[in-house]
């Protein structure tokens, strides 16, 4: 199974930059989207249906903000929205879909970069998400959790760890949370398969030609419950895709 996760920073904006043609060429079996920034009524279902995908979306209540989606070649056997936390479910932060014995989730962690208020919200999200992720891993067994975590885990995952040590997305508390997450039964697929890969980033600021200079952050992940490690075949960061300030991550997993 080919799984791609992609923060598109507005699905309609990404389509105007050639996203549909790119998806057709990339041929994922499952495409997890974050930050779709569209209502249910305005989501471009027909565009993706014409490419052969079933669309399950979880938009934010606020128009033009946040939201997640799972597009798949086959209809999921079950779909679950949210995590029973109104503050974050109103923002469409997570959608899960079951395909046979496997669950795939698309998740969009809050960003704290716009100010103290948003950083506090991000910490609340981390506090409620971890125990739920551990519960899902226990209950659902074969879980593939994809998305924009808005956190770099290690110094190797960011272009300048020294100057960013006090930046949201690389704070000691956030990185410690990632330690806890990855010690609770989840594996970072890219880092598991490529433990020493450097300058492997998935997001770049729009400022100062950061993408051209590859001054980036690796904040988009495909993670799996540890029992799926033997079935991991490949994971690559698709930096040539330029429909967003992020780029996609692809994993191939033997289902």
Mean pLDDT of 218-247: 98
Say which residue the tokens 């309609």 belong to: 12
Q: Can you give the CATH number for the domain in which 61 is found? A: 3.60.10.10
- pTM passes above 0.85: yes
84 catalytic residue (yes or no): no
Among 148, 157, 188, 220, which one carries the catalytic annotation? 148
Residue 38: domain span: 2-253
Rounded Cα distance, 61 and 152, in Å: 28
pLDDT class for 105, splitting at 50, 70, 90? very high
What letter would DSSP give residue 242?
Answer: -
| Residues 6 or more apart whose Cβ sits within 8 Å of residue 108 | 7, 34, 35, 66, 67, 68, 92, 93, 94, 147, 148
The reported pLDDT for the residue numbered 132 is 97
Structural domain tally of the chain?
A: 1
pLDDT class for 30, splitting at 50, 70, 90? very high
Residue 114 has pLDDT above 90, yes or no: no
Mean pLDDT of 230-243: 98
The reported pLDDT for the residue numbered 28 is 98
User: Is-contact 54 72, C-beta < 8 A?
Assistant: yes
Residue 115 has pLDDT above 90, yes or no: no
């Amino acid at each position: 199974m080919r799984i791609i996760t992609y923060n598109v920073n507005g699905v309609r904006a990404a389509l105007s930059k050639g996203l549909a043609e790119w998806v057709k060429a990339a041929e994922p079996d499952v495409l997890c989207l974050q930050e779709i920034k569209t209502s249910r009524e305005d989501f471009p279902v027909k565009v993706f249906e014409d490419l052969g995908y079933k669309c399950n979306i979880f938009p934010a209540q606020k128009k033009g903000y946040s939201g997640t989606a799972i597009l798949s070649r086959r209809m999921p056997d079950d779909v679950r929205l949210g995590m029973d936390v109104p503050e974050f479910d109103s923002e469409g932060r997570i959608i899960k879909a079951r395909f046979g014995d496997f669950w795939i989730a698309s998740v969009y962690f809050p960003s704290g970069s716009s100010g103290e208020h948003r950083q506090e919200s991000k910490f609340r999200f981390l506090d409620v998400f971890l125990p739920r992720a551990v519960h899902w891993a226990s209950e659902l067994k074969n879980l593939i959790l994809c998305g924009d975590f808005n956190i770099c885990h290690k110094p190797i995952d960011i272009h300048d760890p020294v100057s960013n040590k006090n930046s949201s997305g690389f704070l000691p508390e956030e990185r410690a949370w990632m330690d806890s997450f990855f010690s609770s039964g989840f594996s970072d697929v890219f880092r598991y398969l490529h433990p020493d890969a450097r300058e492997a980033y998935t997001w770049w600021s729009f400022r100062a030609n950061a993408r051209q200079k590859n001054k980036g952050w690796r904040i988009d992940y495909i993670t799996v419950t540890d029992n799926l490690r033997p079935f991991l075949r490949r994971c690559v960061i698709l930096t040539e895709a330029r429909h967003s300030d992020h780029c996609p991550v692809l994993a191939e997993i033997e289902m």
